[in-house]
Amino acid sequence: MWSNLPFELLANIFSYLSPDSLARAKSTCKSWHTCANNSPSWATLPWRQYPPWFLALPTRNHGHFICAHNPINDSWHLLPLDFIPNPIRPIATVNGLILLRETTTTALQLAICNPFTRQFRHLPKLNVTRTNPAVGVISLNSANFQVYVAGGMSEASSVGGGASYEPSLEVYDSVHENWKTIGSMPMEFAVGLTVWTPNESVYCNGILYWITSARAYTVMGFEIRNKNWRELGVPMADRLEFAALVERNGKLCLVGGTSDAGACIWQLEESNNWRMIEKVPQELWARLFGGEGRWGSINTRCVCIGGAMCLYRDLGSGMLVWREYAENGTKWEWHWIEGCGTIKGVKLQNFPIKGLLLHPYLASSSFLLNE
């Protein structure tokens, strides 16, 4: 009976499998493998009911791989990145893919990969060569996305001038597969985004946000529709030892804390005021930074996607996950996840990481086949 099921019916059954179960189903036979790779239905809605995977990528020269945590069975897996030709640093996830920047050049060169299907492609070069600009990502739908690049340092002039801040904004559209310069920006924003802003961005209610990486923290936002720039203050701006922006239930949130006061989550209200909505349980917060005091707090990072938010430090220290467990998003619970010390019996050393949350996409991506 199973071998005679119509393709559409089998694809619908596959759409309810978790990513790890789907991977096992794909390995059953050629027919199932083809169905899982080419069915558009499984990659849309039902499978996103499962928690996202946490991907840990080394931030220094500790190897060319990803340590991936599967929340379904609480296990760690090693994903080699030997299919990527050059050293890279991760920026963000979008539609089950990872946006990367190459580290072999100081000028920004972006690429996209899927570590589960081992697909990779470069994005076209920017219209303006830039060093250290801010990068933001917007998912348009389950298949298409945009990448925004703002500020940065331009190349030195051939007639003897030095490098200068680049007060312009470019956008890449995955539908048209090209870069378009969409306007200028105030010089003070160009300087702030270049000097003090990491690549982490958050898109919420038509605005792309970045937070500065130096105290006192501030938030910079770009309104996509009318192309206006705005700046927001944050609570405890000069006291927070770490701060990060996340999107939760359609609202912009700030996660930040100190070693002595703990960590809190604030939500931006329509009045542009911040309201505290959650405090990290003190015993879990203390467990996260392991008694290292202020140093442990400073090295805390945060990442969020859909119904999950994760606080982490490095590969081996464990993670705090705040996860939605009610379908309407009104109830969230805190969970502790042990760090990665071994994978399949092989001991791993601890090292700094860049953490990402991602719903594994196991079908071949037509976008990644177009290079």
Looking at the DSSP assignment, which residues form a beta bridge with residue 97?
Answer: 94
DSSP annotation string for 328-343? TS--EEEEEE---SEE
Which tokens belong to 192? 């702030």
CA dist list (Å): 329 to 154, 251, 279, 281, 321: 44, 12, 17, 20, 15
CA atoms within a 13 Å half-sphere pointing along the CA-CB vector of 136:
28
Determine the pLDDT at residue 42: 41
Alpha-carbon distance of 57 to 88, in angstroms, equals 10
Predicted pLDDT at 371: 61
∠ CA 243-244-248, rounded to 5°: 135
Residues in the chain: 371
Q: Residue ranges of the chain with pLDDT lower than 70? A: 1-3, 7, 15-16, 18, 37-49, 62, 156-161, 199, 291-297, 326-329, 370-371
* Separation of alpha carbons 239 and 216, rounded Å: 8
Question: Which 3-state string (H, E, C) describes 24-91?
Answer: HHHCCCHHHHHHHHHCCCCCCCHHHHCCCEEEEEECCCCCCEEEEEECCCCEEEEEECCCCCCCEEEE
User: In the 8-state DSSP scheme, what is residue 123?
Assistant: P
> Would you list the DSSP string of 263-315?
EEEEEE-TTS-EEEEEE--HHHHHHHHTT-HHHHHHT-EEEEETTEEEEE-BS
Contacts made by residues 22-26, CB under 8 angstroms, sequence distance 24+:
22/47, 22/362, 23/116, 23/362, 26/362
Query: What are the tokens at 275?
Result: 């309201």
* Neighbour-count burial of 258, counting CB atoms closer than 10 A to its CB (0-12 exposed, 13-18 middle, 19+ buried): middle
User: What pLDDT, on a 0 to 100 scale, did the predictor assign at position 327?
Assistant: 61
- 106: nearest Cα among 148, 154, 146: 154
Task: Give CA–CA dist 203/136, Å, rounded.
Answer: 8
Q: Is 159 left (phi over 0), alpha (psi -120 to 50) or beta?
A: alpha
CA–CA separation, 269 and 58 (whole Å): 36
pLDDT for the residue 12 = 72
* Number of C-beta neighbours around residue 169 at 10 A: 25
**What's the pLDDT at 45?**
43
Phi, psi of 171 (to 5 degrees): -135, 135
Q: Which residues pair with 112 in a beta bridge?
A: 99, 121
pLDDT at position 173 is 96
What CA–CA distance (Å, rounded) separates 55 from 58?
10
